[in-house]
Amino acid sequence: EYNIVRPKGYTVSYHATPEMEKHHFGQTHPMKPWRLTLTKSLVTSYGMPFAMDNYVTREATYEELNTFHSSDYLDYLITAAPEDQPRDIENPDKEVKYNLGGSDCPLFHGLYNYCSMSAGVSLDAARKITSNQSDIAIAWAGGLHHAKRYEASGFCYINDIVLAILQLLRTHPRVLYIDIDVHHGDGVEEAFFSTDRVMTVSFHKYHPETFFPGTGALEDNGPKSEHNPGAHHAINVPLQDGITDAQYEWLFESIIGAINERYRPSVIALQCGADSLAGDRLGRFNLRVEGHGACVRYCKSLGIPMVVFGGGGYTPRNVARAWAYETSIAIGADDRIPETIPEHAPWREHFIHETLFPTLEQSMHEPRHNRNSEKRLREIVTHVHEQLRFVA
Ligand code: TV7
Ligand code: CA
Ligand code: ZN
């Protein structure tokens, strides 16, 4: 009814599973897997599934998770039980070792299932790209960029992005990883620190003393040794509170445009964490749904196959808005979808304002003060251009 049609000669695949959404991190925990239900329902209300190949994903296998994560961490994750269950009395310090069971990464019922589902979604998406069956593959359930080889971190237990990029590397010579989550994509950067086959770029709030995870300074560009192939292949864009759409879009296009020309990636992996939106419970930026989506549109315009992942996002109604809008960009229907949330959308009452594009005033009571000077943003772009001179 919205005239959403399949794009000609262009395939978008949507990978999801209703399984993940059943899991809970705990009453007060900011991560709400239910936001994926809200996203899917908004995408469906707009009729977008007609324009895509839709897949229900299976769990990733132990062997698949093991392509990045260590066996002892996975073995512990499988048996890890929530607080009210018997503990592993022989190894009481393993939870500390793996950073599990704290308030950020709690042990909850069905944790292993939740993790292997998220990884399964991202792996399926990556495989649609390596088999040339999709031009854009969407994995909103993925994007858990902080997980390490043998450690959980920042709400992330399994690094589905690393697993997906390892898959892409089987057929692609160079992968460009872009991360617009408000947090630094430290786990992905670390995993590909010593290779020139993956360039990682993260835009994030940077304030080491007060904002998680505290890494990702402008000068951190990979190994310091010029003999290491990974040198100059990590790009960090440290930002302060209150950045606007106009500033972010300018930065994004200046930086990604230059990287694309110099590095010539054959595929893009784009993490679309929605906690960079205005009014996010954990975020600090003043981005609107349009500004966030402009990054997806720009990447699509480069004409390279792409996997898009979810990530953070702690105000569920805005997460659903951004990811539904970005799905419409992927299928080329962004100029056609109505701005008003469909009348028949389930959960419509959750969208306090009935628009897909809330204004800053609608997103938060008082827009955050913008602490990013034009001068500093120009310095950042200059620094990145200088790094790229070292890239062959
Ligand atoms: C990708 N910020 C993940 C982002 C991970 C951020 C953090 C919380 C938080 C956790 C809670 C909670 C919270 C209101 C916010 C140093 C600490 C301070 C826990 C209270 N409320 C992504 C991780 C970050 C858990 N962690 O990039 C249960 O905020 O700053 C920290 C670490 C120690 C632990 N405490 C916070 O978006 C998906 N955590 C309420 C209940
Ligand atoms: Ca980021
Ligand atoms: Zn985040």
Identify the structural domains of the chain with CATH numbers, from first to last: 12-388 (3.40.800.20)
**How many degrees, rounded to 5, is the angle at CA 192 between CA 186 and CA 193?**
75
Q: Does residue 311 have its Cβ closer than 6 Å to ligand 1?
A: yes
User: How far apart are alpha carbons 211 and 206 in whole angstroms?
Assistant: 7
Q: Is 265 in the pocket of ligand 1 (CB under 6 A)?
A: no
Atom of ligand 1 nearest to the CA of 154: 5
Pairwise CA distance, residues 256 & 270, whole Å: 11
Cβ(185) – ligand 1 distance below 6 Å:
no
Q: Is 233 in the pocket of ligand 1 (CB under 6 A)?
A: no
| φ, ψ dihedrals at 225, nearest 5° | -80, 125
Q: What pLDDT shows up at residue 383?
A: 98
How confident is the prediction for the chain on average, in pLDDT? 95
- The owner of tokens 């059943």 is 22
Ligand 1 atom with least separation from CA of 313:
37
Is the minimum distance from the CB of 277 to ligand 1 under 6 angstroms?
Answer: no
Which amino acid appears at position 87 of this protein?
R
- Alpha-carbon distance of 310 to 180, in angstroms, equals 10
Q: How are beta strands 53-56 and 198-205 bridged, if at all?
A: unpaired
Sign of CA dihedral 72, 73, 75, 76: positive
Nearest CA to ligand 1 atom 8: 104
Query: What percent of the chain shows pLDDT beyond 90?
Result: 91
Q: How many residues does the chain have?
A: 392
134 C-alpha vs ligand 3 centroid, how far in Å?
27
Q: What is the pLDDT of residue 342?
A: 93
What tens digit of pLDDT does each residue of 70-124 get? Answer: 999 999 999 986 755 555 555 667 777 899 999 999 999 999 999 999 999 999 9
State in Å: Cα 154 to ligand 1 middle: 6
Q: Looking at residue 204, what is its pLDDT?
A: 99
* Cis-peptide into 49, omega within 30 deg: no
Measure the CA dihedral 222/380/204/322, to 10°: -120
Residue nearest to atom 23 of ligand 1 (CA): 154
Q: What is the pLDDT of residue 361?
A: 95
Residue 309 has pLDDT above 90, yes or no: yes
Q: For 233-272, how does the pLDDT look when each residue is reduced to its tens digit (9 = 90+)?
A: 999 999 999 999 999 999 999 999 999 999 999 999 999 9
Q: Please say if 184 is a catalytic residue.
A: yes
Distance CA 259, CA 278 (A): 27
Percent of the chain's residues with pLDDT above 70: 97
| Interface ipTM | 0.98
H or E segment to which residue 129 belongs: helix 111-130
**For residue 281, is pLDDT > 80?**
yes
Does the structure show a pLDDT above 90 at 319? Answer: yes
Distance of alpha carbon 217 from the chain centroid: 19
Q: Among residues 23, 145, 183, 184, which one is catalytic?
A: 184
CA angle 121, 148, 37 (to 5 degrees): 30
